Structure 1
Amino acid sequence: MRYTLRDRNILQWVMQHPGRGAPYTVRSLAEAIGLTHHSLVGHLLSGRTRDCDLETAHAIAGAVGVAVLVLFAPPASPETNVVDTDRNLSAEGERP
């Protein structure tokens, strides 16, 4: 299940003003939530990536001290996360 970041400016603000502790950098937030690399946090802030998995969304929200729904929107329905096999057909009609 993928959660979509509502507004990258809000994420940036809560990183600078977390509910508890010192402000986060991209690297320190990634480390705090257990990511092996900081690129996901950087991509969320830059707009290059708009979503992340459920566990990461909850971890980010918890680290900065806000409810997950302040930062992220859940999918509209469970079906929006199901891979559409018809769209994944190659031009020849064969599965990739």
Structure 2
Amino acid sequence: MSRRAHRRWTLRNVEIFKHYMQHPGRGESFSVRTLAEESGVSAGVIGKLIAGKQDNVDIDDAIALAETVGSTLNPLFAPPSSPNLNRTSRKSTPTNEE
């Protein structure tokens, strides 16, 4: 898996994202186009997020979207899971057979 893939954050909930677009911290609601213009994230990516065709974005895009709609990152996006979830930091315990 590429290093960049580990930086992709998952949109937690499309409806919550839409709510933030309609009721941003700055007062005026965003369309896909205006959110794209102000955040620097492509309208195509935003449209796919809203339609449920894409569920994750690069960390830089996640931050830009959250900040533009007046949110912090965590209510809208979940961090990537650890690539080592199935591994433990402890070495296995030797058995008598070793």
Q: What are the within-5 Å matches in structure 2 for residues 75-86 of structure 1? A: 75-77=80-82, 79=83
Q: What are the within-5 Å matches in structure 2 for residues 1-96 of structure 1? A: 1-35=7-41, 37-77=42-82, 79=83
Q: In structure 2, how many angstroms separate the alpha carbons of the residues matched to 1:75 and 1:38?
A: 23
Q: In structure 2, how many angstroms separate the alpha carbons of the residues matched to 1:56 and 1:21?
A: 21
Q: In structure 2, how many angstroms separate the alpha carbons of the residues matched to 1:57 and 1:41?
A: 10
TM-score (norm 1): 0.77
SS at match of 1:19: coil
SS at match of 1:55: helix
Unaligned runs of 5+ in 2: 1-6, 85-98
User: Identity over the aligned pairs, expressed in percent?
Assistant: 42
Unaligned runs of 5+ in 1: 81-96
Matched residue, 2:4: none
TM-score (norm 2): 0.76
Structure having the higher Rg: 2
Tell me the CA shift for residue 51 of structure 1: 0.2
SS at match of 2:57: strand
Tell me the CA shift for residue 76 of structure 1: 1.7
**CA RMSD in angstroms, aligned pairs only:** 1.2
Q: Deviations over 1:26-75 (max 9, x none)?
A: 0110111113x411000000000000000000000000001100000001
SS at match of 2:54: coil
